[in-house]
Amino acid sequence: MSKIKTVSTKGKVPFAQKSAFGAGQFILNILPGTLGVFIQFFLLTAWGIDPLWAGLLGGLPRIFDSITDPIMGFISDNTKSKWGRRRPYIFVGAIISGILFFLMWQIDDNASQSYIIWHVMIIQLLFLIGNTMFATPLVGLGYEMTSDYDERTRLMAFSNIMGQIAWMIVPWLYVIIPDKEIFNTQTEGVRTMALIVGGLCIVFGVLPAIFCRGIDAANMENRQEINFRTLGSNMKELWRGILQVSKNKPFMKLCGATFLVFNGFQLVAAFGVFIIVFYMYNGSYELAGTWPAWFNTINALITAILIIPIISRMATKWGKRKAFLISTFLSIIGYVLKWWGFDKELNNSFNQTSLGENLNNGVASIFEFLDPTLNSIGMSWFSIDIGNGVPWLIFLPIPFFAFGMGGLFTLMMSMTADVCDLDELENGMPRKEGTFGAIYWLMVKIGQSIALVLGGAILSIVGFDPSATTQTIETMNNLRIADIIVPSSTAALAILVMWKYSLNEKRAKEIKEVLVERRGEL
């Protein structure tokens, strides 16, 4: 069936606003990405925290975080100010988040395990309040920046591409922090990188508050007064709004599918590093070199440059639901291919072929040329050691499983914006982008907390010992199996959840026409 694709001037988001929103998306990724690395990896290797405790430390605060999100969503939906409903909170939240993230990791080298746990736990709870002030209004702002069905996908695709920059940076923390030529100790590295990330949060986090524009809410009806005097009635309205959102069947499908795909991926996110270091290179960080970082960086690079633009085109041509189903199925193929991609014997055999030798020689020539420049600007850690050859096959699954995360937030955030229109049609004003964004990310965070706890539990179950230089072959094989089975299973379940998703383009445009006739353009 042929379709006419148009974007009105009113529906078009200017490039400057897209870029500013993308800067916010970068912060939305860099903060949890860095936090995950610090908790799941460096708490173990730098401070010697037990994996199970690290998992609990990462997971339990997310329960508190999931409670504050709907409250912040309700507040931003009903806020009245000359700067709009969302922007003041984004500005203040970015500054608070940056400062508290830095303070969270200022831990002494000789601190006891109990002190470290309480220090990180308490400041993390305060940090999450600031981060909620930033993140929840930012997500709601993105939903209302355009009412055009396809421009919503393009906006989310663009911001997701910028967000992938965070995942090109985060993997290098595994390389930079343990490098003794850069930092004397891993703990010193964590403290320094926390300062840098906190600074990035403040600088880039305030940009959406300054440059982005949402809908004109000046004349929006039925907004609640937000103050201590109206706290009781506010809580009743908040609960009523949550019930309305929970009855929105298309939205609950989006939440369910996101919960499954994202948190299946998140649960095993750190396993790839452990597999490369302890299985492929027998526990030697020196031999593993920068390959764990290159694996994740190339994943993010391919996702940003290749996968997200393809998914955006797929959504425009075939619809958002079909684009999600295809993307998620391709990701399952990628997860399965990791069994062969991470097989060290196959990688050694490939390097002995003429193709492998040519690729190794080519990469060696490139980095031999770059080495003087890299050393001169203090980036020797960025180069690679060919050694016995590049583990080329670890990159084989990336173009497939990258479709999973590349498609998830591009498509789901675009579809959630469509759901906000459906809610206004059924429940009237005020529009609840903030509440929808909060409930959506509540599902993500609850799942993430479960994933962090289960991730530590899986490491303990398979017998992984963070204090040991080498791990048993049984431990590593079991870890490799978990690294494949967990995200593949959750992705397959997400396909089932979205199979009969009903809010397609035709229905979305019908809803928009009714809303415009009812209250005009916003």
Alpha carbon distance 505, 498 (integer Å): 15
pLDDT per residue over 305-325, tens digit each? 999 999 999 999 999 999 999
- Whether 127 has a pLDDT exceeding 70, the answer reads yes
Residue keyed to tokens 């995942």? 167
Say if residue 339's pLDDT is above 90: yes
- Would you place residue 237 in the very low, low, confident or very high pLDDT band (cuts 50, 70, 90)? confident
The pLDDT tens digits for 446-481 are 776 777 678 778 888 888 876 777 888 888 888 999
Residue 488, both tokens: 């593949």
- What are the residues whose beta carbons fall under 8 Å from the beta carbon of 454, sequence distance 6 or more? 55, 267
Q: Indicate the burial class of 322 (C-beta count within 10 angstroms; 0-12, 13-18, 19 or more).
A: middle
What's the CA gap between 516 and 406, in Å, rounded? 32
* Number of continuous H segments (helices) and E segments (strands) in the chain: 22, 0
* 373, HSE (Cβ side, Cα atoms, 13 Å): 5
Instruction: Find the mean pLDDT for residues 505-520.
Output: 86
pLDDT tens readout for residues 26-57 = 999 999 889 988 887 788 877 877 777 777 77
Residues 186 and 42: their CA atoms lie apart, in Å, by 8
Taking Cα atoms as reference points, which of 415, 425, 70, 445 lies closest to residue 253? 415
**Angle at the Cα of 298 from the Cα atoms of 54 and 256, rounded to 5 degrees:** 55
Distance CA(506)–CA(4), nearest Å, equals 12
Q: What is the pLDDT of residues 56-76, one digit of tens each?
A: 777 777 777 777 888 888 888
DSSP single-letter state for residue 384: -
pLDDT reading at 279 higher than 90: no
How much of the chain, in percent, has pLDDT values that exceed 70?
A: 89
Residue 384 is predicted with a pLDDT of 63
315/150 Cα distance (integer angstroms): 8
Per-residue pLDDT reduced to its tens digit, 104-123: 999 888 888 888 888 888 99
**Do 161 and 308 meet the contact criterion of CB atoms below 8 Å apart?**
yes
Residue 362 neighbours by CB distance under 10 Å: 11
Going by C-beta distance under 8 Å and a sequence separation of 6 or more, which residues neighbour residue 328?
A: 261, 403, 404, 407, 491, 494, 495, 498
**pLDDT at residue 455 in the model:** 78
**Per-residue b or e along 124-133, where b marks 16 or more CB atoms closer than 10 Å to that residue's CB:** bebbbbbbbb
Enter the tokens of residue 420.
């906000």
Exposed, middle or buried, 519 (CB in 10 Å: 0-12/13-18/19+)?
A: middle
Residue 9 has pLDDT above 50, yes or no: no
Structure tokens at 409: 């937030």
- Find, among 141, 8, 214, 143, the residue nearest to 415 by Cα: 143
Please count the residues of the chain: 522
Question: pLDDT averaged over the chain?
Answer: 84
pLDDT of 431 > 90? The answer is no
* Amino acid code (one letter) for 385: D
Identify the H or E element spanning 74: helix 51-78
Query: What mean pLDDT do residues 273-293 have?
Result: 80
Residue range 133-167, pLDDT digits in tens: 999 999 989 988 988 888 999 999 999 999 989 98
pLDDT tops 60 at residue 3: no
Residue in the structure block whose two tokens are 């230089």: 469
Residue 233 CB neighbours (<10 A): 11
Tokens 């694996």 belong to residue: 295
Whether residue 38 contacts residue 196, with contact meaning beta carbons closer than 8 Å, is answered with no
Q: What angle do CA 472, 400, 40 make, to 5 degrees?
A: 45
Inter-residue long-range contacts of 4-10, CB under 8 Å, 24+ positions, other chains counted: 5/150, 5/316, 7/148, 7/150, 7/151, 8/148, 10/521
Do 139 and 389 form a contact (C-beta atoms < 8 A)? no
Residue 381 confidence (pLDDT): 60
Query: Strand, coil or helix: what is 47?
Result: coil
Amino acid, res. 216 = D
d(CA 454, CA 466): 16
Q: How far apart are CA 71 and CA 61, in angstroms?
A: 16
Q: What is the pTM of this model?
A: 0.81
